Amino acid sequence: MALAASASSANSSQPGDYASVRKAVAALLPQPGYDDDSAGPIFVRLAWHASGTYDKETNTGGSNGAGMRYECEGGDPANAGLEHARLFLEPVKAAHPWITYADLWTLAGCVALEEMGGPKVAWKPGRTDFVDDSKCPPRGRLPDGAQAADHLRFIFYRMGFNDQEIVALSGAHALGRCHADRSGFEGPWTISPTRFSTQYFKMLTKFKWDKKTWEGPVQYKNEDLGEELMMLPTDLALIEDPAFRKWVDLYAADRDKFFEDFAAVFGKLIELGVDRSERYESAPPMSQEAGEQKEAEAMAKM
């Protein structure tokens, strides 16, 4: 698995130079021979899983800590395969050693989304890395694709999300694919797994999904477009549950609404568990340019 030369040879930057980090991450996205020749989908998954362990009742987990550096979190079966994403990003960390892993992983997900045609997601730094594994969240907080609607609500309500936000976040399945040697499931959800779009919702609503006959876990297939695409039980739960289904139908029909809602909920996701009470004042989202200037000013004072 070759790392992109442009990223590994990136020049070191000054603390707070997030524009350089963004460029370095973008340069890493082409990965010939890996999945669909792109690291983009797995960067999104890394940011997602690094953040999705949050528990609002105990205020534990979330995007602080970069706990996947330790076996207690990195070895969680739900995180299988994410070592590839972390390895891809090591040249960026080496060239910009001042950025925390927790900030790098979440920023990489945002950069990947935008580079793959998705919306801009508000991002700001300030996450810290655990000095050891004592604060890693317990396993079992991430979604299990073999489950149904009640499981989705249990997992996402714990983080503080509602039904609309659950469906919007599920739209990330427009990207990437499953691997039998990681999750047990196999195949892509869409015909363009490196392009962020409403295709996932359109597939759910317009095609018939039949149970796949194979030796793996229960999943569903459709071959109407000339190749086998797949859906998980949690995906079909979105069209079987009326409260979820209304959002699926909306996002399938309205790209702008989906992009707007996804940017908002993904931005909320990567902020879970981050305490900004001391270092940041509450403020509305800024433009990317203004945000980068603010980030640089904030980091220079630390």
Confidence of residue 278 (pLDDT cuts 50, 70, 90): low
Which burial class, exposed, middle or buried, applies to 210 when counting CB atoms under 10 A from its CB (0-12, 13-18, 19+)? exposed
pLDDT score of 13 = 77
- Is the pLDDT confidence value at 301 over 70? no
Higher local confidence (pLDDT), 212 or 291? 212
- Is the pLDDT confidence value at 254 over 90? yes
CA angle 166, 160, 70 (to 5 degrees): 90
- Cα atoms found within 13 Å of the Cα of residue 279, Cβ hemisphere only: 16
| CATH superfamily of the 149-265 domain | Peroxidase, domain 2 (1.10.420.10)
Kindly report the number of other CB atoms within 10 A of residue 74's CB atom.
18
Q: Which two tokens stand for residue 59?
A: 């205020």
Which of 224, 226, 228 is CA-nearest to residue 213?
Answer: 228
Mean pLDDT of the chain, nearest integer: 91
Query: Quick check: 149 and 240 in contact, CB under 8 A?
Result: yes
Q: Indicate which residue of 48, 105, 123, 189 is catalytic.
A: 189
pLDDT score of 283 = 36
Q: What percent of the chain has pLDDT over 90?
A: 86
Confidence of residue 11 (pLDDT cuts 50, 70, 90): low
Distance from C-alpha of 136 to C-alpha of 69, rounded to nearest angstrom: 10
Higher local confidence (pLDDT), 182 or 12? 182
- How many angstroms separate the first and last alpha carbons of the chain? 37
Distance from C-alpha of 173 to C-alpha of 85, rounded to nearest angstrom: 17
Confidence of residue 277 (pLDDT cuts 50, 70, 90): confident
Domain boundaries, the chain: 21-141+268-295, 149-265
Q: Indicate which residue of 49, 84, 96, 173 is catalytic.
A: 49
- As its CATH architecture, domain 21-141+268-295 has Orthogonal Bundle (1.10)
189 is catalytic: yes
214 is catalytic: no
- Give tens-digit pLDDT for 49-67: 999 999 999 999 999 999 9
- Between the CA of residue 107 and those of 92, 112, 154, 239, what are the distances in Å? 12, 9, 27, 31
- Give tens-digit pLDDT for 103-126: 999 999 999 999 999 999 999 999
Verdict on whether the full-model pTM lies above 0.85: yes
pLDDT score of 276 = 87
Backbone angle region of 239, left / alpha / beta, with phi > 0 → left and psi within -120 to 50 → alpha: alpha
